[in-house]
């Protein structure tokens, strides 16, 4: 679907010759002399690279329709992750590269919203925080009460986060999926 550069909005996805791009920011400029133009900052949906492009006002660009589907993570099949569509019950295999950092927060039976362009997965929306169990960390030592001190802890997904000294093996903690930081005990 072709849209005008005058209709751009933040978060909109465009199918450009450079690839699938998401609009991060845009600015409509009307200089005193000459025609108006639109200055944009775009992020490649596949690689994450950011580029800046300038377009004439009212130039036509191709809008990419991103379909968001609620999917449940079922299990790992070798290097792939198997997801089931919550509506059609179709199963799809997703590579680690397509998931990116989201693989660190997925548990079997958990759900995620997959951003799909045709049949290709271009992004994953996770909840703001997830609860994960600690499988390995050093024990807290009595009397070790330094304010703000942290230690590494390995979670059940393999992710390593910094946690306070009082957190022990087997405890369930909340982790921020945007930054990967410890939030609180669950």
> In terms of domains, do 116 and 154 share one?
no
d(CA 150, CA 10): 38
Query: SS3 for 141?
Result: coil
3-class DSSP state of 104: helix
Residues 36 and 80 in one domain: no
In sign, the C-alpha dihedral spanning 18, 24, 28, 33 is: negative
Answer yes or no: do 101 and 71 share one domain: yes
The pLDDT of residue 164: 85
Q: What is the pLDDT at residue 106? A: 87
Residue numbers of the domain that contains 42:
2-62
Same domain flag for 120 and 142: no
Does one domain contain both 161 and 115?
no
Q: What does the block give as tokens for 104?
A: 């660190």
- Give the model's pLDDT for residue 144: 59
Q: Count structural domains, the chain.
A: 3
Residue-wise burial string across 29-58, b where 16 or more C-beta atoms lie within 10 A, e elsewhere: eeeeeeeebbebbbbbbeeeeeeebebeee
Domain CATH number, residue 54:
2.30.30.30
pLDDT value for 25: 92
- 157 and 171 part of one domain: yes
Are 77 and 50 part of one and the same domain? no
Separation of alpha carbons 38 and 36, rounded Å: 7
Same domain, 54 and 77: no
- Among 97, 125, 153, the domain boundary falls at 125
pLDDT for res 128:
86
Dist CA 110 CA 108 (whole Å): 5
Are residue 57 and residue 39 in the same domain, yes or no? yes
d(CA 113, CA 71): 6
Q: 39 with 84, same domain?
A: no
Based on the fold, state whether residues 36 and 71 are members of the same structural domain. Answer: no
Domain end (from 125, 145, 173): 125
Query: One digit per residue, pLDDT tens: the chain, 186 residues?
Result: 788 888 888 888 888 888 888 899 999 989 888 889 999 999 888 777 899 999 998 889 999 888 888 999 898 888 888 999 888 888 888 888 888 788 888 888 888 888 888 888 888 888 888 888 999 888 876 665 666 778 889 998 888 998 888 888 888 999 988 888 888 888
Half-sphere exposure (Cβ direction) of 107: Cα atoms closer than 13 Å:
11
Whichever domain contains 87, its CATH number is 2.40.50.140
Q: Which of 14, 29, 62 is the last residue of a domain?
A: 62
| Element holding 96 (H helix, E strand) | helix 96-99
User: Who's near 143: CB < 8 A, 6+ residues apart?
Assistant: none
pLDDT at residue number 129: 87
115 plus 133 within the same structural domain: no
């Amino acid at each position: 679907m072709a849209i005008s550069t005058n209709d751009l909005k933040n978060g909109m996805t465009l199918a450009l010759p450079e690839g699938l791009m998401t609009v991060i920011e845009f600015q409509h400029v009307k200089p005193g002399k000459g025609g108006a133009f639109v200055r944009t900052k775009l992020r490649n949906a596949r690689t994450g690279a950011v580029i800046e492009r300038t377009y004439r006002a009212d130039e036509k660009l191709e809008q990419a329709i991103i379909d968001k589907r609620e999917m449940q993570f079922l299990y790992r099949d070798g290097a792939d992750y198997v997801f089931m569509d919550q509506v059609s019950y179709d199963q799809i295999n997703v590579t680690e590269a397509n998931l990116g950092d989201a693989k660190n927060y997925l548990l079997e039976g958990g759900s995620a919203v997959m951003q799909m362009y045709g049949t290709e997965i271009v992004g994953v929306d996770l909840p703001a925080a997830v609860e994960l169990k600690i499988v390995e960390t050093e024990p807290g030592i009595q009397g070790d009460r330094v304010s703000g001190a942290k230690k590494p802890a390995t979670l059940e997904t393999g992710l390593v986060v910094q946690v306070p000294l009082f957190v022990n093996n087997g405890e369930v903690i909340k982790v921020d999926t945007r930054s990967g930081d410890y939030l609180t005990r669950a």
